[in-house]
Amino acid sequence: MNLLRRVGVVFLLIFLVLGFCAPGVFAADTIKIGCLAALTGDWAAYGQTEEKTELLAIDEINAQGGVLGKQLELVVYDFRTRAEDAVNAVRRMIEENKVVAIVGANGSGINIATAPVVNRLKVPQVGTVSTNPQVTVDANGKVYPYSFRICFTDPYQGKLIAFFAANELKRMNAAILYDIGNDYSHGLREFFIDNYLDYGGKIVADLAFRAGTDVDFRAQLTEIRDKKADVLILPNMGKEMALIMKQARELGMDDIIFVGGDGYGEFMWEIAGDAMENSYWINHVAPEDPAMAAFFAAYKEKYNDECKEFVNGVLGYDAIYLVVDAIRRAGSEDPTAIANALAASENVKLHHATITMDEFHNPKDKEGIVLIAKDGRAQFFTKVKP
């Protein structure tokens, strides 16, 4: 072979290698969906459950043939309960992993932090238990085209808590103990107050703490006791709520009723013990819901364990199904087409609810479930819809 021919063959090989490696020349074998979850840190119990249930949903959908003739792949990033890690994770998912949509996170402050990134890079993100209004709208109230949620919002959740405390429990002297550094906690507190006052309730104490720093709440609880509050509202997440309830009972606050929102976690029993008993939690799903029986059975079969953080589990699971439904309706794996399909979701039958998106990318008119903490676990108590 002469020199000219050898050079030509070399260039041909280089061209072929570059051609096969170039992004977009050939379609990917899988459709990638991002999972943004706190696998470590204070929210690890929530995030680990979301990862497991989203993998369960992916496996089920793939077993049924996938979507658009392709299998799904879940790309998982741990944001370690930190907004800066979530922002970096979302950027990497989109720019490096080429995900077409992202499910998560479960915290409002996290989704508020990632919203500018996903909307700049034009990939839809569906929050699981992120209830603050600013998850899907900017400071001026304009909807983010690529930000969505599968849960109800804090204004609605705050109204549900206020309605339940005032009209169902008949407790009209409320104290609030909230996390001053948390967007979710701030928002839920604000919306509870507005609605509780409308129902004729009185706020006798409105006190703050800082999660991750404060572990002793006796000073605030003593003030709450002295102000004769008959209900303590806990618009928070995780271990601090468990510590608050435990310390309240230790201070002899036996008659006060604890009411919280969807920050409830089964792991709180390990900290609070019997202090959890007969507390109430406004939530999105109940483990006794017959529609979810197949999900719980499938989870147990796959992981040989109960789905303890079932709220995060169910919403993460159904968020995958919502995204896949949007991909099918879009007939495309283009992120903008998927976002448009999500925005147009109407009567999408999922496992825990039927979803119609409103103009702000929130599910319309979802019923609230009240859970009662009883006999060592959360149980269905009633449904509320003011």
Same domain, 217 and 269: yes
pLDDT of res. 19 = 40
Q: How many domains are there within the chain?
A: 2
How many whole angstroms separate alpha carbon 227 and alpha carbon 202? Answer: 11
Tokens for 262, please give them: 């969807």
Q: What is the CATH number of the domain that holds 171?
A: 3.40.50.2300
Q: Which of 183, 191, 225, 195 is nearest to 207 (CA)?
A: 225
Same domain, 170 and 224: yes
Residue written as token pair 């976002």 = 339
Residue 6 in domain: no
pLDDT of res. 367 = 80
For the chain of 386 residues, list the mean pLDDT of each consecutive stretch of 10.
45 40 51 97 94 98 98 98 96 98 94 98 97 93 97 91 96 97 92 97 98 95 98 92 98 98 91 97 87 94 94 96 98 98 97 94 89 92 84
- Pairing of the two strands 280-283 and 257-260: parallel
pLDDT of res. 28 = 66
Looking at 280-349, list the stretches that DSSP marks H as alpha helix, in order from N- to C-terminal side.
Answer: 293-303, 310-330, 335-343
Residue 132 in domain: yes
Q: In what order do the strands lie in the sheet with 202-209?
A: 202-209, 173-179, 231-234, 257-260, 280-283, 368-374, 377-384
Any bridge partners for residue 36, and if so which?
A: 77
Same domain, 330 and 380: no
Same domain, 238 and 133: no
Same domain, 234 and 343: no
Residue 119 in domain: yes
What domain range is 220 assigned to? 155-283+370-384
Same domain, 215 and 250: yes
pLDDT of res. 289 = 82
For residue 193, the one-letter residue type is I
pLDDT of res. 272 = 96
Same domain, 118 and 191: no
pTM of the model: 0.78
Same domain, 375 and 234: yes
Give the Å distances, CA to CA, from 103 to 21, 108, 153, 317, 324. 28, 13, 17, 9, 11
How many whole angstroms separate alpha carbon 332 and alpha carbon 338? Answer: 7
DSSP state of 70: B
Same domain, 216 and 266: yes
Same domain, 268 and 380: yes
For residue 265, the one-letter residue type is G
Residue 22 in domain: no
SS3 75: strand
Same domain, 43 and 113: yes
